[in-house]
Amino acid sequence: MDCQGLVVRLIQDFVLLTTAVEVAQRWRELAEKLAKVSKQQMDAYESPHRDRNGVVDSEAMWKPAYDFLLTWSHQIGDSYRDVIQELHTGLDRMKNPITKRWKHLTGTLILVNTLDILRAAAFSPADQDDFVI
């Protein structure tokens, strides 16, 4: 059964969520690198997550980061490769990039760039001559 669409959707959602959690406090810097987001737009992402005192708790800072990344990824389009590649590039452009110590995203980028090869190998009709006995 070929479920590549489901797999790439899960991979992309995983990448966006883990990036939001990893970046958390620094999400504004990432937003500037990816989309030139204004201060007003950043405040709008944080506003639903503010407490009664108007502050976003540091442990909840991943939430506006995730909201931003979801919106940004939809603007990039349907290409999961483009989304992950652009995200990787944006993270690399940050001060003290997390990609230096956080190798998961690099590995995921390699995986998504080889999915078509893996899919072709898994779902192509095998010739009898290809098997070594």
Residue 48 makes CB contacts below 8 A (sequence gap 6+) with: 63, 64, 67
Report whether 71 contacts 77 (CB < 8 A). Answer: no
How far is it, in rounded angstroms, from Cα 116 to Cα 14?
19
- Tell me, what's the pLDDT at 127? 55
pLDDT in tens, 47-56: 999 998 989 9
Report whether 70 contacts 10 (CB < 8 A). Answer: no
Q: Report which of 13, 41, 15 is spatially closest to residue 98, judged by C-alpha positions.
A: 15
Higher pLDDT: 115 or 55? It is 55
SS3 66: helix
- Kindly report the pTM of this predicted structure: 0.81
**Alpha-carbon Rg for the chain in angstroms:** 19
**What fold characterizes domain 3-119?**
Death Domain, Fas (1.10.533)
pLDDT in tens, 60-98: 999 999 999 999 999 998 888 899 999 999 999 999 887
